Structure 1
Amino acid sequence: MKNSLLSIIFLCLFACDTNRIPYAKDMLDRETNTLKPDQLNLIFDNSKVFPDNTQLAIGIIANGKTSFYGIKRENGALITVKNAKKVFEIGSISKVFTATLLANFIVKSKVFLNEPINTYWDNPFKADKKLTFKNLANHTSGLPRLPSNLDLLSVDQDNPYKDYDAKKLDFYLTEEMEMADETEHPYLYSNLGVGLLGFTLSKIENSSYEALLQTYITEKFNMPQTTTLRNIVASNMVQGQGPNGKSVPNWDLNVLVGAGGILSSVTDLSTFALAQFDASQVTLALTRKKTANVDERTAVGLGWHIVKNDKGHHWVSHSGGTGGYSSSMLLDITDKNAVIILSNVSGFNDSAGNIEALAFALMHTLEAE
């Protein structure tokens, strides 16, 4: 009885617009809302803990067909909003785009997957250590999460990466670089590694990361709201929130932009997801090809994590978090299902993990259909 009552309450809260129309069924019919009660309950359960002004933009692709849902927490209640084209920081989902840039370079024979990046740097790396494109894209380089000369305790806590420039990165690579023993840590998630990958590709092309992103991905797939340049989409951005719900500044990733500096919308990311379902897109398929194991249930391609679910099927995924935003993207290539969630829930919020958990829970509902 309690669960049924909760479903009815949430149906009304979620289905109603800012005028809070009281009859959920009428609103659902008018909006052709295809969300099922269990999906609505999942969204409510995973978002009820967030502060006021939290927004979730949700894209659901079921058997190749896309639907969008937007919610906002206002005065302790959930209301629907149209935010499918609103722009959020996507955090580490950016790594998938950096890996996709690499895949383009490989397909065009600009570089080779197992080739060391050292060739493209003027100065030798410390102890002449070699780093390959593959190792950077799949987190097997042994590089730490962040470079040792980026001290998070001494930087601007609201924008920690903004002053980490090419000069500092070069100094790290030539003077301070340390790598974990690959026998002990064959997989070690590294923002530094993927940021270095993005910057190296920019050096090879003698171009900015933004220009590469536009040339190889966003123009090709018609993704006009996807960029690293905040001024282009500033008027359409959802304000990021800190853990307590107060507004926080956006992050500038500087030389590590390829690790987490992209802005996008669920409309654009849904377009990108649909492109993944197109078997003719060999460059995208390359990013999803397994390159290393993480554990018994998880592998990694180039950028993407490959997850085996309880039924033995494989999904590809990535999540992201910054000071003001959390995100998750999950694809089932076989059944052409996907869930994309962008939010202004801080990556430092104690419940930020609910965003990824919600994506996986919603995907399970699609699998059950």
Structure 2
Amino acid sequence: MKYALILLLCFWSNSAFSQIDTATNAQTKDILPESKTDLIFNKVNTFPNNTQLAFAFIKNGQTYYYGVKRLNDSIVSINNSESIFEIGSITKVFTSTLLAYLVEENKINLNDNINDFLPFPMKDDIKITFKSLANHTSGLPRIPSNLAMANPQNPYKGYDEDKLKAYFTEELSLLDTSGMKSQYSNLGVGLLGYTIAIIEEEAYSELLQQRIFAPLHMSSSTANRQEINKGLVKGQGPLGQETSNWDMEVLSGAGGILSNVEDLSKFALAQFDSSHTALALTRQKTVHVVNNVDIGLGWAIINREPKNKWCWHNGGTGGYSSSMVIDIKNQNAVIILSNLSAFHPNKGNIDQLSFELMESLEE
């Protein structure tokens, strides 16, 4: 989703009303009254059967969970707070968090060139900084030109370190060289994760475990799908058909994490703790994008009135869509994970729903 689309998130569905079975705990009902379950229905009722949405709501620092599933053209509430989904590009916030730890430890500077840390030279000696990878100002394209996508259901599978090296040494071409224009790039953040792993001499998935998942007790989160023994929700294609999980391989830093709303709520709560200074660094403005939107390191920063900000990122893969919004000032957050394909025509309903529910937490 382009950041400019944030400005269009005032759309409300006019679909026919049908009551959701709100079989959830009393505490959740306090922050999710009937009017909000109606809102959820209006966004979900165009999704295919067997689509699940898992929600985490954080209000004033307190966490609540809710889940729905579309079954036989009805929507019922389910308990899926522990169910695991691909989180797609929300991964980019975690990659930027690893970057922030290296900066905090004085191992690198945001304006350092990654060229000095890579085991191969860039074509034409093009220089790329760490910050430009994290805020999408590097000028790199969204995907590398030598990504063949032999399997559209698993497009990054087979894109390994050798292919990455071949692209940057032989085919590298920047779309923009000003360093001021933010152009979303999976390649850029994938390269960032790859470079961080080289600096730390550790696999990207292990760095996530050591630096973020274990300290925050995110026991169900991983960038290695083989570690998941149970609880993985099957991804669905645009028509609701079961589809392949994505193997991001060398570009895992752009979208390789799998998690659940319980774990992501722990990551959100950590953002509210001022002692986590590396997390605070990711939320600092690095570049202005459009109107009321800036970019930090990974996060999109939505400037709201009066003098408040939301930090946001969404995600999408062939079988999943997600959105995560946090409000540091009020200690509120909405997290949505789903097995709705990013290629479904109404995928934007996930983003719209996360923003509208965030507004409801302010009421």
Contact 2:85 2:259 in 1 (8 A): yes
Distance 2:179 2:296 in 1: 20
**Runs of 5+ in structure 1 lacking a partner?**
17-26
CA drift of 1:234 comes to: 4.0
Counterpart in the other structure of 1:135: 132
Counterpart in the other structure of 2:21: 14
| Aligned residue among 252, 256, 274 for 1:257 | 252
1:70 equivalent in alignment to 2:67: yes
Counterpart in the other structure of 2:121: 124
1:272 equivalent in alignment to 2:267: yes
SS in structure 2 of the partner of residue 294 of structure 1: strand
Counterpart in the other structure of 2:161: 166
Counterpart in the other structure of 1:54: 51
Contact 2:139 2:179 in 1 (8 A): no
Matched to 2:78, the amino acid is V
Mapping for residues 205-244 of structure 1, pairs under 5 Å: 205-244=200-239
Distance 2:31 2:145 in 1: 49
CA drift of 1:32 comes to: 5.3
Counterpart in the other structure of 1:79: 76
Contact 2:137 2:179 in 1 (8 A): no
Matched to 2:350, the amino acid is I
CA drift of 1:312 comes to: 5.0
CA drift of 1:308 comes to: 1.9
Distance 1:29 1:156 in 2: 46
Counterpart in the other structure of 1:284: 279
* 106-115 vs 328-337, which moves further: 106-115
Distance 1:344 1:188 in 2: 26
Distance 2:306 2:28 in 1: 34
Deviations 1:204-237 (A, max 9, x none): 1111111100011001111001101112224111
Distance 1:357 1:310 in 2: 19
SS in structure 2 of the partner of residue 235 of structure 1: coil
Matched to 1:42, the amino acid is L
Counterpart in the other structure of 2:320: 325
Contact 1:14 1:79 in 2 (8 A): yes
Matched to 2:128, the amino acid is L
1:225–1:184 Cα change, 3 Å: closer
Deviations 1:36-84 (A, max 9, x none): 2231121111101001100000001111111100101101111111100
CA drift of 1:28 comes to: 6.6
Matched to 1:66, the amino acid is T
> Given the two structures, how large is their TM-score scaled by the length of structure 1?
0.91
SS in structure 1 of the partner of residue 290 of structure 2: coil
Matched to 2:22, the amino acid is A
> Given the two structures, how large is their TM-score scaled by the length of structure 2?
0.93
- Aligned pair count reads 349
CA drift of 1:311 comes to: 4.6
Distance 2:132 2:225 in 1: 30
1:30–1:63 Cα change, 3 Å: closer
Distance 2:251 2:214 in 1: 22
Distance 2:27 2:277 in 1: 40
Matched to 1:85, the amino acid is E
CA drift of 1:122 comes to: 2.5
1:168–1:271 Cα change, 3 Å: same
SS in structure 2 of the partner of residue 348 of structure 1: coil
Distance 1:337 1:293 in 2: 24
* 231-240 vs 29-38, which moves further: 29-38
Deviations 1:241-272 (A, max 9, x none): 00000100100000000000000000000010
Contact 1:142 1:185 in 2 (8 A): no
**Runs of 5+ in structure 2 lacking a partner?**
1-12
| Aligned residue among 344, 352, 359 for 1:349 | 344
Counterpart in the other structure of 1:180: 175
Matched to 1:243, the amino acid is P
SS in structure 1 of the partner of residue 154 of structure 2: coil
CA drift of 1:309 comes to: 3.1
Distance 1:235 1:36 in 2: 32
Deviations 1:153-204 (A, max 9, x none): xx10110101100000001111100112234971111000000000001111
| Aligned residue among 93, 100, 113 for 1:103 | 100
Deviations 1:75-95 (A, max 9, x none): 111111110011000000000
| Aligned residue among 85, 88, 95 for 1:88 | 85
Counterpart in the other structure of 2:355: 360
Identity %, equivalent residues: 49
CA drift of 1:315 comes to: 0.5
| Aligned residue among 175, 190, 198 for 1:203 | 198
Counterpart in the other structure of 1:147: 144
Distance 1:181 1:214 in 2: 34
